Structure 1
Amino acid sequence: MTKPKPSGSIVQAVVVDPALVNQQAQRIRQQREAAKAAEQDRLKRLEQQADALEKMRQEEEQRLRQLKADKLKAEKEAREAEQERKRVAAERAKAAEEKRKADEAARVAREQAAKAEAERKAKQEAAKKAEAERQRQVAEQRKAEEAKRQAEAAAAKAEAERQAQVAAKKKAEEEARKAEAARKEAERKAAEARELQRQQEAALNDMFAGLEAESEQRGDARAQSISDVRDRYGAIYTQMIQQNLLVEQSFIGKECVIRMRLSSNGLVLDASEDGGDSAVCRAAKAAVVKVSQFPMPEDPAVVEQLRSIRLTVSPQ
């Protein structure tokens, strides 16, 4: 006998995290409450705007009604005055009593005219005051615009000064970089000069070793070698000074003769003007201070001559 098969689908149980469900429900409630609050705030603003517009409409209607009433009153008074004038003209031929009444009516008319004139003058004075107020507002607006223009000009000036400072800083950094490169180049050339001098001295020593008869000739060659090295170092010093020189347009075509005193290791002890343009000399002395130390050769004889050196600086 066959066993009956179970009927229906199999239900799989799913575990639901109650905390997650509560968190999602709380987030949905918060979103709904926020949307509800935003909608209430929007409706409140719309209601306030509608109230303001209604108030403005009522005030405008009241003003128009008042203007219409004033116009009707003025027209009525004009008609009454015209009727009174016609009545007085028609009754001039009547008795003295009627004339007296007519005169009285004329007096009343004059009073009304005086009142109307007073009102006209009052309106004219009000118009003058309104014009004065308008001109005052125009003057204040112009004053505010001028203050704005001055503020914008001051801001533009400050920006230009800032940019000038940035440019000056960049220029100073570039000059410092060039000065450092020049210093390294000068040191390289000085090293080359020292090596050349060493080779020359070695060659001279080898050439003239043991030749006492030619000792004087060796001395002359030595002196010439010292002079040549001194001149090369002088050219290097001049180049270093000019690379650190803050050149102005007025310096072009002028020069300065400057005398420097250096220590044995090249430190600047003193720099003084020895002729030439005073402004160029001031800039040259500032450049010397900026360099602060110049390269020195190894030969003590050349060092001794370089410790007090006279250079000519020509701004380029």
Structure 2
Amino acid sequence: MSSNSSFTIPLGISAGVHIGAIVILALGVDFSSEPMPTPQASSAPAVQAVVVDQQKVAQHVERLKQQKLEQQRKEKARQDELDRQAREATQAREREQQRIKKLEQERKQKEIETKNAAAAAKAAKLREHEEKQKAAAAEAARKQKEAEKKAAEEAAAKAAEKRKREEEAARKAEQERKRKAEEERKRKAEEQARREQEQMMQDALAAEQAALSQTRNKQVMSEVQRYTSMIRATIQRNLVVDESMRGKSCRVNIRLAQDGFVTGSQVISGDSVVCRATKAAINKAGRLPVSSEADVYNKLKEINLTVQPEFN
């Protein structure tokens, strides 16, 4: 509505100004100037003009002057009115422009205020969001600390329980160690006593065995000497001798089976003639005397024997 009125007033002023200009032009005709003389067809009108009442002409001219002055006054008044209206229209237009400018400023100010309010609301919302996040983080941190504290307390309780169990286990282990150490000490003492007793028995048995062995060795050696003599005698019986063998001998190695069978013979050293005769005598005998007793046979199963021919 204000926009239509702002255009209507300037248009009215412009139309008034144009109309006033046309009126001024119309009234600007110089009525005081006398009319141009027109050619007369004859001298009769001129004569008539002479007789015109000069006073009436003067009055008529005066009326015309007055009319012109009145018209000029009215035109001036009208022009003054138009100027006043133009000034008022200009002032109104300026006021309207100021109002429009003010409204535009107010609109811009409102836009700025709206933007500021929106920015403030956004900032407030952001602050609220940040506060919520901080509160949530603080709550999470609090819960985390509570959980850590609870976990630490549980860990401390478990550690205390574990330490208690370990101390109890260590105490029992120490008791067990002492018990085993005592048992080991007793076992070692008993073992030592048993070993000492066994050693005494072994020493006694060894002494007895030594005595028996010595006796048996004497018996075995006696038997070995006896069977060695018998083996030599058997070889001598089968030995073929002659004078060339006198004072000579042969040393041989003889291997015998448990029944006295000769399993092998080998010359160790000596006269070759005597050695041949000795090997021939051994082979001829085929079996030599041995003892049935194992310890005596073990001494005789492989013997080194020196054979020296005997002469009557």
TM norm structure 1:
0.38
Which entry has the higher C-alpha Rg, 1 or 2?
A: 2
- The alignment's TM-score, normalised by the length of structure 2, stands at 0.39
